[in-house]
Chains A and B, each alone.
Chain A
Amino acid sequence: MSVYDQIAEAQAAAVGEIEKTSDLESLKAIEPMLFGKKSTLGGLKRLMGEVDAQERADVGQALNEAQLFVRDAHEAAKKKFELSDRRAQLETERLDLTESLHVANRGHLHLVTQTMERLEDVFVGMGFTVSEGPQAETDWYNFEALNLPAAHPARSMFDTLYLDLGERTEIGDGEGGEATNILLRTHTSPVQVRVMESTAPPIYTVCPGRVFRRDTADASHMPVFHQIEGLVVDRGISLADLAGTLNEFTAAYFGGAISSRLRPSYFPFTEPSAEFDITCVICEGEGCQTCQRTGWIELGGCGMVHPNVLANCGVDSEEWTGFAFGFGIDRLALMRYGIKDLRDMYTNDVRFLEQF
C-alpha cells in the first residue's frame, strides 16, 4: 500500500468516525482519535522519515491536507450539533408574551398640572422666569395696588371670597382706605405686584397658580381654578411688544396655524387694555360653532401696566414701562381635549385622571 493510500485510508476512517457521532458529547469523545499524536493520521507522521528526502515535502503536504479535511468535517459536525442543541433549548424556553399579569400602572399628573407645565415651558423658552405667591392675600395686593381702590366699581367684576379673621376682620367697602381684608386671590396679579416690589426691572416673568372666585360650580365655572399671568417691565416696552410676545406664545403653544390679535378692552390695572383672541383652534379660522362663526376665540385680557400700578409697586413709570397678560389654564385644558364640563376635572375620578 502506498504512503498516499495509507493517508487516504486514515482520512476516510476519521471521517467515518465523525459521521457515526450523534451529538456534541459523542463528538467530543472521539476527538483524541481524530487529532493529535495518538490519532491515526498523527501516527502517520512517522512515514515522513521513511520516504526519500525529495518525496518528503509531497507526503507532508498530503498529510496536512488530510488533517485539514478531518478538521473541517469535525467543525461542520460540531456546528450542526450546536445548532440543534440551541434549537431544542429555545423551544423549551418559548413564552407567550401576552400572558403578562396585571401590574400597577405608572401614575399620571393632573391635566391642569400638565397644562401648567407646558405653559411654563413655553414661557421659559421665551426668556421668562416663573413666580409664585400666597393664595390668601391682602386687599392691597389683590386689589388696591392694582388700581382697584375700595370703592372701584370694577371690583364687582370679581366675586371675592374673604377670610374670617375673627376680631381682626375688617369687612365692608373699606372706605376708610385702611382696609386690611384678607381674601383668597381672585387672580394671580398679586404675584406680579410682589415681584415688582421685590425685584428691580427688567422683569420677564409668568405667574401661574390657583385662584378663587365666589362662583357656583357649573360646566364652565369653578370657585377654584387656575390662571397664568405674564409680566414684562423694561425700558421702552410697548403695546407692539405685547402683541409680538402674545403672537410668539400662541405659535409656540398652539402651533403655527394659530395666531393672535388684540382688541381694545378695559381693565383697571392696564392702560391701554386689550382682549386677546386666538384663531379658533377647532376650525383654524374658517368659522364654526365654537367660535360663533367669527374664526376667533377670546383667550384672555392684557394691556400696558397702568402707571398707577407701577407707582404702587415703586417703579418709575417714566423710566420703565411694561405689559401684562393673563388667561385661564383650566379652559386651555378643556379646549385641548374637548372636555365639555369643567367639573369633570375636579371629581378626582381615576378613570378620568388616568386618561391624561
Chain B
Amino acid sequence: MKVLLSWLREFAPIEGDPYELADHMSDLGMAVEETRILNPLEGVVVARVADLRPHPKADRIQLVDVQIENGDPMQVCCGAFNMSVGDLIPFATIGTVMPDGMEISQRKMRGEMSNGMCCSAAELGLGSDHDGIMILPEHLETGAPLMQELGLVGDILWDLEINPNRPDAMSVAGVARDLAARLDVPFEIPEWKVPSSGAAEGLASIQIDDGVLCPRFTGRVLRGITVGKSPLWMQMRLTLLGMRPINSVVDVSNYVMLELGTPNHTYDLSLLPNGHIGVRRASDGESITTLDDQERMLQPNDGLIVNEADEPIGIAGVMGGASTEISDTTDSVLVELACWEPQSIARTSQRLGLRSEASARFERGTDWQINVTAVQRFCHLLNEVTPGGIEIVGEVLDVAGTTPDSISVPVRTSRISMLLGRDFSSEEIRNLLTPIGFDVENTDSQDVQLVKIPSFRPDTETETDIAEEVARHYGYGKLGTTIPRSPDAGHLSPQQKLRRVIRQVMTGAGLIEAMPNPFLAPDDITKAALIVEEPVRLLNPLAVEESVLRPSLLPGLLTAVAYNYSHRNMEAKLFETGPVFEASEDSSGLPLETEHLAALISNADAFAATSLLKDLASTLKLEFQLTNVDGLAGLHPTRGATINIGDIEVGSLGEVDPAVLRSYEIEDRCAWLNLRLDLVIEAAISVEGVSYQPVSTFPSSDVDLAFAVGEQVQASEIEMTLRKAAGEELQSLHLFDVFRSGQLDEGVRSLAFSMRLQAKDKTLTDEEVGVVRQRCIEAVENAHPASLRA
C-alpha cells in the first residue's frame, strides 16, 4: 500500500520529517519499504509530440519530434509507440538527472541524433507503469516544468507493507488514523454531502439471499453520467499509488477504494432489468462472462450477483460481468458498495486467478460500517469530476445481510501489563486505544475496562488482540527488556551429544559432511539397485525428478560423489546423517522416519568402511559384529556385510555395486557404510558409564598364532573362538596379518592373530601362558577347518 502525504493530510494534520514519519509507521507495524520525496525533477518539462517517423535503421525505436514552447521541434529516438501526434508528454531535456541517477545526454542512436528522452511514469518515479510514455492531460502548458505543473513538488510518497491482520491500513484514511494517533493529532473522515433529487424507488432494488456471503449491500442510482477523463490531480494520485488512470468513472471507483478501503462497482442501469440486483451463491455448472470477456466456470461456494432473471451478472467482490458493463453511452448507473465474506472471495479469486486490489481488500475484510460514507464519497467525487455534474437519485439503497455483532471485550489492566511486561494504568490503556477507534468504558471492577472493537478491525477479537494494539501504539521498543531464566540448566540430550560425537568421528577420519537433496526421482531407487516396495511419494512435487522421499542415503551420496567426479574432485569422502522414509501403516498416517548415518568414500575398498566402523566402535565403546552377506541391495555382491550390535542389526557396509557406480559414471571403487544412527546412539548410551578395569601392574605376555583357515570361515569367527578360549587373562586380541599364497592349500588363507595375556593379580609363568596358547590352538582347530601354521 502506497500513501501520499498530501492525501493523508486530508484526514489529519500530519507534519514532520519524512523519515521520522516513516519510522513511526514502521513502528506501528506498517513497515515502510521506501520513502520518496517528490523532487522538482529539474529539466523535465511538458512537451508536445509534433511528428512521429520510423527510424531508418531500427524497428524497435522511432523518431519523435517534440516541441517545447515555440522553439523548433527537437528530434528524439524513442522505444515506445503509444503516443500520437499532438499528445502532451513528459520530456527530459539534455542535462536532466533522472530519479535513478542517470543523466540525459545528447547521443546518436543507430545514426540518428536523440536530444533528450520521452519518459514513462515509472522512469519519472510517478508510478509503476513502464508500458509506454506517459500521456499528459491536454490543458498543461508546453515547456512548463512537469512536477510543478502536476502539483507534486514536495509531496512525499511512502510504500508500506501491510500485514494481513490490518484491513484498515489498506486505505489512505486508515493509515492516517493510525499515524494521527501516534502523533497525537486529530483524525476525521469528512461527511461528504451530496444533493439528491427524485426517488430511487422503482429504479433499483437489492435482494440478499445469503446474508453470510453479503453482510451489507449499499447502492445508489446516478444519472447524467458522461464518461470522460478524470482531472489531473486524481490521475496523479492514482498513478502514484500504482493504478493506471482509465476514465472518470473507473478512476473515481479506484480513488474511493484507495481512500477508504472500499472496493466498489458500477452497473449500467439500463442493462439491469427493473434495476434489480440479487446476491446468492453459485450452483454447480453455472458460468459467467466477465468484464475481460472470459467465460468463467463457477463453483457452489462462489458469491454471485444476479439480475432479476436470476442470471449471473457478476462474481461477488472479484469481477463484474460483461453484460452490465458501462460504456461511452451509459447514462444511468447503479453503484455497488458491498461487503463480502472474506474466505469466499479468497477462494474464488485464487481459483480463478483473479487477484486484484479489490479482492486483496475483501479477503482481509472490509469495514461494513463505512458503506454509506463511501457511497457518498463516490457520488461526491463523480459529481465533482463530471463536467456539468451528475444527478444523484433518491436515497441510499442499503440492505443488510448478516452483519457482524458488535463485540465488546473485557480487558484487564493487570493482564495487559503482565503480557507486555510493563505496568500500564487503565487510563494509559484507554488513551492509547481511543484514538484508533476503540471505545473504552469503565466497569464495576477497577481492573477491567470494556473495549468496543471498531468495525474496521475485524481481526481484533480478544483481550490478547487488544494487548497488541496497546503495545503497538505505546511502541514495542519502549516496553523495555527482561530476561526470563529457566529453572533448569540448558543442555543437549545424551542423543544429541552422541550425534555430535559421531559426526566428529567422521570428520576426524577425513570425511566431509554433505547435504544431498532428500527428494529423488523415481528412477534413482532402481539406479542405486535398492529394493523398495513402496517409496513415499510427494503429492505435489515441483518436478518428477524430486517426487520421492529418499528411502536410503545412498542415491543422494552417489549423486554428490558423481558431481564431484565430474568436476575432477576425485577425493570425495562424504558422509551424511539424516532421516530416511518408508511407507507405514501407522494410524497417524505418518511415514516411518529413521535417522541414518552413511558414508561413501570414493577410490577406496571395503576396508575403508570397516576402518571407519572401528573408529566409531572405539569412540563409542561399542562392539560391532560383521557377517559377510552376498548381494545386499546396492552393495557389491561379494563385498558386503551386515553390522550387528548383539542381536540387533544396525546397518551394513562394504563397497557399492560396480554396476551402480558405472551408472553414476564413477570409475573407482567406493566404500560404503550405512548405520541406523538411532540404534547406534541408543546402544552407545547403554554402555556409557560402565565401570572401568584397573590397569594390571603385572607384566604381560604376547602370543602370536597363525592359522591356515578355509575361505568359507570368517576371520571374525576365528577371533571369537580365540577370545572365548583365551579366557579372562586375554587383555587384547587382534588380527595382524592376512595372506594368500601358492604355498598354502587351495581355498585356504593364513590369518595371524596377536594376543596379549595378563593376569590381574600375578605374573603369568611361561607354563601358564603355554596352557592358554595350547587351549586356543585346540579350540580353533576343533571348531573350524583350520590348522596352526608352524
Q: Which residues of A contact B (CB under 8 A)?
A: 104-110, 112-113, 117, 120, 123-130, 132, 134-138, 151, 153-154, 156, 161-165, 168-169, 171, 173, 180, 182, 184, 202, 204, 210, 214-216, 223-224, 232, 234, 236-241, 243-245, 247-248, 261-266, 271-275, 304, 306-307, 321, 345-351, 353-354
Chain A residues positioned under 8 Å from B331 (CB to CB)? none
- In the complex, A182→B592 CA distance in Å? 12
- In the complex, A346→B563 CA distance in Å? 11
- In the complex, A101→B561 CA distance in Å? 25
Q: How large is the interface on B (under 10, 10 to 19, 20 to 34, 35 or more residues)?
A: 35 or more
Choice from B468, B541, B563, B575 contacting A349 with Cβ under 8 Å: B563
Q: Which residues of B contact A (CB under 8 A)?
A: 26-29, 31, 163-166, 342-343, 346-347, 350, 363, 418-422, 462, 464-465, 467-468, 471-472, 476-477, 479-493, 496, 500, 503, 506-519, 536-542, 546, 549, 560, 563-564, 567, 569, 571-575, 578-579, 581, 588-591, 593
Would you call A104 and B510 a contact (CB within 8 A)? yes
- In the complex, A163→B535 CA distance in Å? 11
Chain A residues positioned under 8 Å from B493 (CB to CB)? 129-130
Chain B residues positioned under 8 Å from A237 (CB to CB)? 484
Would you call A241 and B589 a contact (CB within 8 A)? no
Q: Which of B27, B462, B515, B567 has the most CB of A within 10 A?
A: B515
Check A214/B28 contact, CB under 8 A, given A129-B491, A239-B421.
no
Chain A residues positioned under 8 Å from B519 (CB to CB)? 223-224
Would you call A321 and B350 a contact (CB within 8 A)? no
- In the complex, A173→B346 CA distance in Å? 12
Check A136/B418 contact, CB under 8 A, given A107-B573, A108-B507, A163-B549.
no
- In the complex, A105→B549 CA distance in Å? 33
A336 CB, min distance to chain B CBs, angstroms: 17
Check A104/B418 contact, CB under 8 A, given A264-B29, A348-B560.
no
A205 CB, min distance to chain B CBs, angstroms: 9
Choice from B481, B489, B539 contacting A127 with Cβ under 8 Å: B489
Chain A residues positioned under 8 Å from B418 (CB to CB)? 236, 238, 321
- In the complex, A224→B549 CA distance in Å? 12
Choice from A161, A173, A248 contacting B541 with Cβ under 8 Å: A161
Chain B residues positioned under 8 Å from A138 (CB to CB)? 588-590
Choice from A162, A163, A272 contacting B471 with Cβ under 8 Å: A272
A114 CB, min distance to chain B CBs, angstroms: 9
Chain A residues positioned under 8 Å from B480 (CB to CB)? 240, 243
Would you call A182 and B421 a contact (CB within 8 A)? no
- In the complex, A262→B516 CA distance in Å? 36
Chain A residues positioned under 8 Å from B482 (CB to CB)? 238, 240-241, 244
Would you call A107 and B476 a contact (CB within 8 A)? no
Would you call B492 and A130 a contact (CB within 8 A)? yes
Chain A residues positioned under 8 Å from B549 (CB to CB)? 136, 163, 184
Chain B residues positioned under 8 Å from A137 (CB to CB)? 590
- In the complex, A130→B564 CA distance in Å? 34
Chain B residues positioned under 8 Å from A164 (CB to CB)? 536-539
Would you call A109 and B490 a contact (CB within 8 A)? no
Would you call A202 and B486 a contact (CB within 8 A)? yes
Chain B residues positioned under 8 Å from A169 (CB to CB)? 539
- In the complex, A236→B482 CA distance in Å? 12
Would you call B542 and A216 a contact (CB within 8 A)? yes
B178 CB, min distance to chain A CBs, angstroms: 11
- In the complex, A124→B490 CA distance in Å? 4
Would you call A106 and B510 a contact (CB within 8 A)? yes
- In the complex, A295→B707 CA distance in Å? 75
- In the complex, A126→B627 CA distance in Å? 46
**CB-CB nearest in chain B for A151:** B343
Would you call B31 and A238 a contact (CB within 8 A)? no
Chain B residues positioned under 8 Å from A130 (CB to CB)? 492-493, 496
**CB-CB nearest in chain A for B481:** A244
- In the complex, A244→B166 CA distance in Å? 27
Check A239/B569 contact, CB under 8 A, given A136-B591, A164-B537.
no
Would you call B512 and A113 a contact (CB within 8 A)? no
Would you call B343 and A353 a contact (CB within 8 A)? no
Choice from B462, B517, B593 contacting A307 with Cβ under 8 Å: B462
Would you call A263 and B591 a contact (CB within 8 A)? no
Apart from A156-B350, A224-B517, A272-B420, what are 14 other A-B pairs with CB-CB below 8 Å?
A112-B515, A128-B486, A129-B493, A134-B579, A151-B347, A161-B541, A182-B590, A204-B488, A210-B518, A223-B546, A263-B29, A272-B464, A304-B467, A346-B516
Check A350/B572 contact, CB under 8 A, given A171-B539, A204-B490.
yes
Would you call B468 and A264 a contact (CB within 8 A)? yes
Chain A residues positioned under 8 Å from B571 (CB to CB)? 104, 350
Would you call B515 and A127 a contact (CB within 8 A)? no
B163 CB, min distance to chain A CBs, angstroms: 4
Check A265/B542 contact, CB under 8 A, given A107-B513, A244-B482, A245-B484.
no
B141 CB, min distance to chain A CBs, angstroms: 37
- In the complex, A224→B546 CA distance in Å? 11
Chain B residues positioned under 8 Å from A354 (CB to CB)? 512
Check A123/B481 contact, CB under 8 A, given A266-B164, A272-B467, A348-B574.
no
Closest 6 CB pairs of A and B: A240-B421, A238-B421, A264-B29, A272-B468, A244-B481, A266-B163
Would you call A107 and B421 a contact (CB within 8 A)? no
Choice from A129, A136, A236 contacting B593 with Cβ under 8 Å: A136
- In the complex, A120→B497 CA distance in Å? 11
A94 CB, min distance to chain B CBs, angstroms: 31
**CB-CB nearest in chain B for A240:** B421
Check A117/B500 contact, CB under 8 A, given A245-B484, A264-B471, A271-B465.
yes
Chain A residues positioned under 8 Å from B420 (CB to CB)? 238-240, 272
A129 CB, min distance to chain B CBs, angstroms: 6
Chain B residues positioned under 8 Å from A248 (CB to CB)? 483
Would you call B515 and A345 a contact (CB within 8 A)? yes
B239 CB, min distance to chain A CBs, angstroms: 24
Would you call B483 and A245 a contact (CB within 8 A)? yes
- In the complex, A161→B482 CA distance in Å? 39
- In the complex, A295→B516 CA distance in Å? 36
- In the complex, A306→B482 CA distance in Å? 20
**CB-CB nearest in chain A for B602:** A350
Check A113/B542 contact, CB under 8 A, given A136-B581, A136-B590, A238-B419.
no
Q: Which of A151, A156, A350 has the most CB of B within 10 A?
A: A350
Q: Which of A135, A154, A266, A348 has the most CB of B within 10 A?
A: A348
Choice from B471, B477, B486, B510 contacting A105 with Cβ under 8 Å: B510
Would you call B483 and A244 a contact (CB within 8 A)? yes
Would you call B490 and A128 a contact (CB within 8 A)? yes
Check A223/B542 contact, CB under 8 A, given A107-B506, A107-B507, A350-B564.
yes
Task: Enumerate 25 A-B pairs (CB-CB under 8 Å) in ascending A order.
Answer: A104-B571, A123-B490, A124-B491, A129-B488, A138-B588, A153-B342, A154-B164, A165-B589, A184-B538, A210-B578, A214-B540, A214-B542, A223-B519, A223-B542, A232-B484, A239-B421, A239-B471, A244-B482, A261-B476, A264-B27, A272-B471, A304-B464, A345-B515, A349-B567, A353-B512
Would you call A107 and B484 a contact (CB within 8 A)? no
Chain B residues positioned under 8 Å from A347 (CB to CB)? 563
Check A266/B166 contact, CB under 8 A, given A307-B462, A348-B560.
yes
**CB-CB nearest in chain B for A132:** B496
Chain A residues positioned under 8 Å from B163 (CB to CB)? 264-266
B436 CB, min distance to chain A CBs, angstroms: 13
**CB-CB nearest in chain B for A117:** B500
**CB-CB nearest in chain A for B543:** A216
Chain B residues positioned under 8 Å from A161 (CB to CB)? 538-541
- In the complex, A240→B462 CA distance in Å? 20
A247 CB, min distance to chain B CBs, angstroms: 6
Would you call B492 and A266 a contact (CB within 8 A)? no
A142 CB, min distance to chain B CBs, angstroms: 11
Chain B residues positioned under 8 Å from A134 (CB to CB)? 579, 590, 593
Would you call A240 and B481 a contact (CB within 8 A)? yes
- In the complex, A283→B507 CA distance in Å? 35
Would you call B491 and A153 a contact (CB within 8 A)? no
Chain B residues positioned under 8 Å from A204 (CB to CB)? 484, 486, 488, 490
